[in-house]
């Protein structure tokens, strides 16, 4: 898929050592059909996660150097100007060859400073953070710990002197959950359904309203949920018609459903930006995306949301011909969607 906007989508994946981040990324790279670059930011023993990703065979060997990049100096909030910024500038030189960037960062790194780093003047007009995904070890959490191997985690923590200013592990875990737009609970296949339900309830108490806690098995999560992007041939991105409540397995045990929503008539951006988060929260949407044609605007207002994170921008590079009438086209992704109720809520709000 070739992005028509100049802003390259970025997804941040965080979680403690052993939570399942690399397994998730290997599955994503092998099954998504997208041209993704991976930026690995780990503390201490650099090279392990990068090597795991390189060895999965997701791209030709001659492309690996430009598709998997490692940052050696741990805490991004301390090295933005010295390391992160030059690395991103190098990746953006190949922007036309990429569909998106995934940043895999240790749970020892504070998530919010990393997200804020994408507001750096040199890169903020060329990238957009589509979401922060926190991976949690469900098996460890069921056993009473936020991490599967506390000894290994402490060794990783001790290996980098820049970590002296960071909080203890429980506080870092709280930071991961507070920053998350989506929480993935790994190793769900090793848990009983009642255990999963209890853990989901516990994790929901630590996240913002509208954030979904999704069980994950062997790293298998649809790319459309994780990234807000689809395969090149996926008609969801092409804007074609789809059946409501269509199951989307996408190499996953998670049966995703989609619903297409439409509104014909004049719209106000401010109204949309108030309404869409209400839809997301009321219906437990994982993703919401689409476009709106607003009065007097020659280019579409692009809409992307993961959980409560909503971004709207006018896509000046869009090749789409403006329709004669104003209107809105949306695709919602979720686990249990009531397409009729979604459309009714949308109609009721926009008709007033």
User: Which residues face 330 on adjacent strands?
Assistant: 261, 290
The token pair at 8 is: 């390259």
Q: Which helix (H) or strand (E) holds 46?
A: none
Tokens standing for residue 78: 């301390």
Strands (E), the chain: 8-15, 36-41, 68-71, 100-106, 127-137, 182-186, 212-215, 246-248, 256-264, 287-293, 301-306, 309-314, 327-334
Contact yes or no for 191/142 (Cβ under 8 A) = yes
| Residues 132-179: tens digit of each pLDDT | 999 999 999 998 888 776 666 666 666 655 554 455 788 888 989 999
Task: Check residue 62 and give its pLDDT.
Answer: 53
pLDDT at 65: 54
Closest of 263, 262, 273, 275 to residue 349, by C-alpha = 275
pLDDT in the model for residue 224: 82
What is residue 253's DSSP assignment?
S
Token pair in block for residue 92 = 């953006």
- What's the token pair of residue 71? 């940052």
> Is residue 237 classed as helix, strand or coil in its secondary structure?
helix
| CA separation for the pair 351, 281 (Å, rounded) | 20
CB-based contact 50:25 (threshold 8 Å): no
Q: Distance between CA atoms of 147 and 126, rounded to whole angstroms?
A: 35
pLDDT at 132: 93
Give the torsion sign (CA, 262, 263, 266, 272): negative
Judged by DSSP in three states, 219 sits in: coil
Token readout for 69 is 């990049």
Secondary structure letter of residue 108 according to DSSP: T
Residue 68: the pLDDT is 61
pLDDT at 113: 79
Listed residue (301, 275, 306) closest to 288, CA to CA: 306
How many other C-beta atoms lie within 10 A of the C-beta of residue 22? 24
Distance CA 212, CA 292 (A): 25
pLDDT at residue 51, rounded to an integer: 53
Low-confidence ranges of the chain (pLDDT < 70): 1-6, 42-82, 149-167, 228-255
pLDDT of residue 225: 83
Q: E-strand spans in 162-220?
A: 182-186, 212-215
């Amino acid at each position: 898929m070739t992005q028509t906007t100049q802003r390259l989508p970025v997804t941040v994946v965080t979680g403690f050592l052993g939570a399942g981040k690399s397994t998730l990324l290997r599955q994503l790279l092998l099954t998504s059909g997208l041209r993704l670059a991976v930026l690995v930011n780990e503390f201490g023993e650099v090279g392990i996660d990068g090597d795991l990703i390189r060895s999965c065979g997701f791209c030709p060997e001659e492309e690996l150097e430009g598709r998997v990049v490692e940052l050696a100096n741990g805490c991004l909030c301390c090295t933005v100007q010295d390391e992160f910024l030059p690395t991103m500038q190098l990746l953006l030189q190949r922007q036309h060859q990429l569909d998106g960037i995934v940043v895999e960062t240790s749970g020892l790194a504070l998530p919010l400073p990393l997200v804020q780093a994408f507001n750096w003047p040199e890169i903020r007009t060329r990238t957009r953070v589509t979401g922060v995904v926190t991976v949690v070890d469900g098996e460890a959490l069921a056993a009473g710990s936020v991490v599967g191997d506390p000894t290994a985690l402490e060794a990783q923590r001790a290996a980098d002197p820049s970590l002296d200013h960071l909080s203890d592990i429980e506080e870092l875990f709280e930071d991961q959950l507070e920053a998350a737009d989506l929480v993935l609970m790994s190793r769900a296949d090793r848990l009983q359904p009642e255990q999963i339900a209890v853990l989901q309830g516990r994790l929901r108490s630590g996240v913002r309203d509208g954030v979904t806690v999704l069980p994950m098995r062997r790293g298998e999560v649809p790319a459309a949920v994780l990234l807000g992007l689809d395969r090149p041939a996926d008609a969801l991105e092409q804007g074609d018609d789809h059946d409501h409540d269509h199951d989307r397995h996408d190499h996953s045990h998670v049966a995703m459903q989609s619903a297409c929503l439409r509104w014909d008539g004049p719209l106000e951006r401010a109204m949309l930006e108030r309404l869409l988060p209400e839809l997301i929260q009321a219906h437990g949407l994982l993703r919401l995306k689409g476009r709106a044609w607003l009065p007097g605007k020659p280019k579409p207002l692009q809409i992307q949301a993961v959980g409560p994170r909503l971004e709207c921008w006018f896509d000046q590079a869009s090749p789409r011909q403006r329709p004669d009438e104003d209107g809105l086209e949306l695709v919602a992704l979720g686990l249990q969607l009531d397409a009729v109720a979604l459309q009714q809520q949308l109609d009721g709000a926009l008709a007033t």
